[in-house]
């Protein structure tokens, strides 16, 4: 007689935490392993990552996750945080989470797999936290309680004194003023400074040749050993300049 244990791939007696907490990374490996990408999740995840990674795409700066109690909102949010950036204090790397999700997606879902790969190539840092652990209990009923929490977390992550936003803003203004003064002095000395472009004119010319020969942008980027996103932006920028000149 066949039992349920024999039918299922995983042990039904394995320990699982019914509540996913943003600030707890101890169970992250299990949470990643147990996450199920349904058809509905795959559709929304594709739309989100396509908008996030496509150069010149929508400039929206927020996403609202809605659902009933126990529907998996916290689990999804936590997975998104690790897919879109590095999370400080975690023993699990972003790249490992991205790879685990790609392995969950069927090969036939090429768009979602590609979007996951592109998102991993964008340097980013995720600020993942539980609001109820950060909010001041004496101020939780104030209208700006949530705003204060976001400011504190942001300033703390940037190395400022987040507990006092006005002090943190003062520190930030000082750095900005000193940076601008240093850049002005450098320009007066004849030094332009700044980063060297990742996509040089020569690489851009070679990329166009590769694409004209039938390669995709991703394949051209791999051959030139540059990032796909950087190449997309370079091609888009030159296309825009050409359109203006015409």
The rounded distance, in Å, linking the Cα atoms of 41 and 56 is 24
Q: Which of 97, 126, 155 is the last residue of a domain?
A: 126
> Is residue 98 within 8 Å of 116, Cβ to Cβ?
yes
pTM: 0.65
Which domain range does residue 223 map to? Answer: 201-245
Look at residue 196 and tell me if it is in a domain. Answer: no
Residues 70 and 174 in one domain: no
* Beta pairing partners, 126: 87
Residue 130: enclosing H or E segment and its boundaries? none
Look at residue 193 and tell me if it is in a domain. Answer: no
Number of structural domains in the chain: 3
Give the tens place of pLDDT for each residue, 148-171.
888 888 899 888 988 888 899 999
Residues 9 and 105 in one domain: yes
Q: Crossing angle of helices 165-188/145-157, nearest 10°?
A: 40
Give the tens place of pLDDT for each residue, 73-123.
889 899 999 999 988 878 888 999 999 999 999 888 888 898 898 888 888
The rounded distance, in Å, linking the Cα atoms of 73 and 65 is 7
């Amino acid at each position: 007689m066949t039992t349920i244990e024999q039918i299922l791939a995983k042990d039904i007696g394995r320990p699982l935490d019914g509540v996913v907490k943003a600030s707890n990374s101890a169970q992250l490996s299990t949470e990643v392993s147990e996450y199920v990408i349904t058809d509905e999740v795959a559709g929304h995840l594709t739309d989100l990552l396509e908008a996030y990674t496509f150069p010149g795409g929508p400039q929206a700066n927020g996403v609202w996750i809605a659902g009933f109690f126990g529907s998996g909102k916290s689990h999804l949010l936590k997975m998104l945080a690790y897919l879109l950036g590095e999370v400080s204090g975690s023993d699990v790397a972003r790249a490992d989470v991205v790879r685990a999700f790609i392995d969950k997606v069927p090969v036939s879902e090429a768009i979602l797999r590609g979007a996951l790969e592109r998102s991993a190539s964008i340097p980013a840092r995720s600020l993942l936290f539980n609001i109820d652990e950060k909010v001041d209990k004496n101020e939780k009923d104030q209208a700006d309680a949530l705003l204060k929490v976001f400011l504190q977390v942001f300033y703390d992550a940037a190395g400022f004194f987040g507990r006092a936003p006005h002090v943190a803003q003062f520190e930030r203004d000082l750095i900005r003023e000193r940076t601008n003064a240093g850049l002005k002095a450098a320009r007066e000395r004849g030094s332009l400074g700044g980063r060297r472009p990742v996509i040089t004119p020569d690489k851009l010319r070679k990329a166009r040749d590769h694409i004209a020969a039938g390669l995709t942008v991703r394949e051209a980027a791999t051959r030139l050993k540059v990032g796909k996103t950087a190449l997309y932006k370079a091609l888009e920028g030159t296309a825009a300049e050409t359109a203006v000149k015409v």
